[in-house]
Amino acid sequence: MPMEKVLRDQALTKVDFHQRLRAWLANAGEAMVGPEDVPGVTSWVHIKDGSRVFALHADAKRDAVVHYLQMVTLHGDDLAWEIVPSQRGNMTAVAFGPEKLRYKPFYLYAIPV
């Protein structure tokens, strides 16, 4: 079963987001967060961090979720997110942790204000 969609006006906190990711890993066997019949670039889960809103795309892969949650385990639920240039040069991609690593299969992007 895909992860439940979370709309922008219902954006989760980081802590709630991490709980949902863990629950999805434990209870679902899908390879991607969203359903296979949804375009991959679809914003599937919205997260609010301070005044910014972020979206995890439907095509985020299971192994990418595992990798991301390993970083959360290492650095805590308040893992730093920093907005960095995407492949197209837009300031929408997100890098994680003190090392500011970008894990591309974990498709998390800042929603432009």
Residues 4-25, mean pLDDT to the nearest whole number: 97
Task: Please check the confidence at residue 113 and state whether its pLDDT lies above 90.
Answer: no
pLDDT digits (tens, 9 = 90+) for 35-56: 999 988 999 999 999 999 999 9
Closest CA to 110 of 85, 87, 76: 85
Structure tokens at 86: 């995407």
Closest CA to 81 of 62, 42, 55, 60: 55
Give the 3-state secondary structure of residue 61.
strand
